[in-house]
Amino acid sequence: MNSLQGRLSTGLVATLLVVFLMQGIAVSLFLRHMTEDYIASRLEHDAESLLAALQILSDGSVTLDTSRTDPIYQRPYSGHYYRIESARQLLRSRSLWDQDMSLAPLPVGAFQRQTLRGPERQPLLIVARGYRKAGEALTIAVAEDLGLIEQTVRHFQWLFLLLSLGVVSGLILLQRLLVRRSLRPLAQVRTDIASLERGEIAVLPEQVPTELVPLTREINRLLGAYADRLVRSRHALGNLAHALKAPLSLLTQLAGDATFKAAPQLGERLVAPIDTMRNLIDRELKRARLAGGSVPGRRFTPEEEIPPLLEVLRRIYHDKELTFDCRLAPGMTLSADREDMLELLGNLLDNACKWCRGHIRITVDSEAGPYLRVEDDGPGCTPEQLETLTERGVRIDESIAGHGLGLAIACDIVTSYAGRMHFARSKELGGLSVDVQLPPRG
């Protein structure tokens, strides 16, 4: 069972059941013992009354003055019985009818208390004591039916069981309410994590219960370490790209040196991989210029982020008179990492700038989830070419600078967000139209 509330409820129910079971047994035993003590005390008084009503005749015979005894002993099977035994005689109450209570004679002063079955197999509490009166040894036993007492005890047990179930149910309900209230800060932490994912906050607030402070601090520490590592990786990548440009330029010059003119095929074989490496380095440098020093986890605001991106593209493609038609939903923010969205739009717009004649349209909307569209007025693609656009290294026109990775990387970004990317011919501009649909988040 993975639920904390379920574990607590199970533990509480098990504990309460054991406690109430033991309490019920203890109370039942105490009630029965207390009741039997009370009945035994009353039976001893009845035995004293019977002793007082006894008469010892001169011949040693024993008689009982029934007028001095309780009439209940005269009613057959009344549940109250006595038995008086001497050395010569045995007296039984009329209530025993033709039954008897099997008891051994007791010495004078001896006392016995026991439970036996009565005339109708009912439980009897019997109190017996040895007496001496007028020189005659007597054993007087008085008994009372315990059936009513046992019925009362059972009734109490059922009542106690129902009350216990009610108390257990109430305590479980109270416990669930208390657990929900106690776990409410965890729900707030979950909400804060969702806000963190959407980029609404940079770190988790530490205004939480003491028990949760270590958790939030560790998460914030992990976020900080991740952000630092990401920034260092990007800086290292940029530094590596810059460091490789100079050796590649030298290799390019060497490829055109007179030494290779005698073997032009060798020079061409050397130039091709050098160009590929230069294109890759240019891409990383362009990516660094487009993305800038963004903060990981920050939300992407198209109205704020796209205009500077377009200015960078205008400087990169200064040889073209670029016109950007921006149709951005006012006040819209995307619940996606700013770096990812800048790289996605940077690749799509970079591809559009390469192929367009001068007009590019950008549409960003959120009516049915985050939606992006980039269109250009270039030559477009045939249906066969559209199917291969996202394959790495595929270039529709080898005369256009590039290395064929931009759209493939854009597709990878969209896939990482569980989105869809669709290519088609723009109905209004005539060139390529790239539609990106991202799922709603948070």
pLDDT band for position 360 (cuts 50, 70, 90) = very high
**pLDDT given at position 259:** 64
pLDDT at 255: 67
Order of all β-strands in the sheet with 80-86: 90-92, 80-86, 136-145, 123-133, 111-117
- DSSP codes of every residue in 356-402: -SSEEEEEEE-BTB-EEEEEE-S----HHHHTTTTSTT--S-TTSSS
- 401 or 18, greater pLDDT: 18
Domain spanning 4-151: CATH 3.30.450? yes
Euclidean distance between CA atoms 41 and 31, whole angstroms: 15
- In tens, the pLDDT along 280-339 reads 776 665 555 444 444 445 678 899 999 999 999 999 898 888 999 999 988 888 877 788
Q: Is 184 exposed, middle or buried, given 0-12, 13-18 or 19+ CB atoms closer than 10 A?
A: exposed
Per-residue pLDDT, 308: 92
The proportion of the chain whose per-residue pLDDT surpasses 90, expressed as a percent, equals 12
Indicate where the chain has its CATH 3.30.450 domain(s). 4-151
- Rounded CA-CA distance 55/91 in Å is 12
Residue 392 has pLDDT above 50, yes or no: no
Percent helix / strand / coil, the chain, rounded to 5: 55, 20, 30
Give the strand pairing for 359-365 and 371-376.
antiparallel
- Does residue 136 carry a pLDDT above 80? yes
Looking at the chain, which residues constitute the CATH 3.30.565.10 domain(s)? 299-442
Q: Are 374 and 349 in contact (CB under 8 A)?
A: yes
pLDDT digits (tens, 9 = 90+) for 142-197: 999 888 888 888 888 888 888 888 888 888 888 888 888 888 888 888 888 877 77
Determine the pLDDT at residue 348.
Answer: 92
Of 423, 418, 421, 419, give the one whose Cα is nearest residue 433.
423
Q: Is the Cα dihedral 331, 309, 416, 232 positive or negative? A: negative
Give the up-direction half-sphere exposure of residue 6: CA atoms within 13 A in the CB hemisphere.
3
> Residue holding tokens 């109905």?
427
pTM for the full predicted model = 0.47
- CATH H-level superfamily of 299-442: Histidine kinase-like ATPase, C-terminal domain (3.30.565.10)
Which residues are 82's β-sheet partners?
142
Q: What are phi and psi of 370, to 5 degrees?
A: -55, 125
Q: Rounded CA gap, 130 and 256, in Å?
A: 136
What tens digit of pLDDT does each residue of 56-83 get? 887 778 888 888 888 888 888 888 888 8
The pLDDT assigned to 3 comes to: 73
User: ∠ CA 134-84-47 to the nearest 5 degrees?
Assistant: 80
Q: What is the mean pLDDT of residues 34-50?
A: 89
For 83-119, write each residue's pLDDT tens digit. 888 888 888 888 888 777 878 888 988 999 888 887 7
Once rounded to an integer, what is the mean pLDDT over residues 48-52? 88
184 by DSSP, 3-state: which? helix
Confidence of residue 395 (pLDDT cuts 50, 70, 90): very low
Helix (H, G, I), strand (E, B) or coil at 124: strand
pLDDT digits (tens, 9 = 90+) for 198-242: 667 778 888 888 888 888 888 888 888 877 887 777 777 777 777
Q: Give the pLDDT confidence score for residue 123 in this predicted structure.
A: 86
Q: For residue 279, what are the CA distances in angstroms to 67, 274, 275, 350?
A: 128, 9, 6, 14
Number of other CB atoms surrounding residue 14 within 10 Å: 10
